[in-house]
Structure 1
């Protein structure tokens, strides 16, 4: 009877270890996939910031041109 209990306990410990290893492996794979997705989001965010800075400089240039046109129109009066 004691031998059977020990055998069952050993089998349960081995099965628990294998289960824990499989769960840890798939959790690691999910973490790697999340890291790849975050890297692509980071790249997208950097591109958005660069484009926003470009638009800001273009708006500033257009603002300067509008001021120049307004000054020209005022000088005509």
Structure 2
């Protein structure tokens, strides 16, 4: 009777260890996939930021030109 209990306990411990290992493996795989997705989002954010800065520079240039045109029109009129 004691031998059967010890055998069942050992089998349950082994099954628990295998289950924990499989769960840890798939959790690691999911984490790696999330890391790859976050890297692509970070790259997209950097590109959007660079585009935003370029747009700000263009708007600054247009603002300067518009002020020059307004000054010219006021001086003519």
1:55 Cα deviation after fit:
0.2
Cα displacement string for residues 18-56 of structure 1 (whole angstroms, at most 9, x for unaligned residues): 000000000000000000000000000000000000000
- Equivalent pairs counted in the alignment come to 77
User: What's 1:2 paired with?
Assistant: 2
What is the root-mean-square deviation of aligned Cα atoms in Å?
Answer: 0.3
State the alpha-carbon separation in 2 of the partners of residues 20 and 29 from structure 1: 14
**Could you state the TM-score of these two structures normalised by the residue count of structure 2?**
0.99
Tell me how far 1:59 sits from its aligned partner. 0.3
Unaligned runs of 5+ in 2: none
1:1-77 superposed matches below 5 A:
1-77=1-77
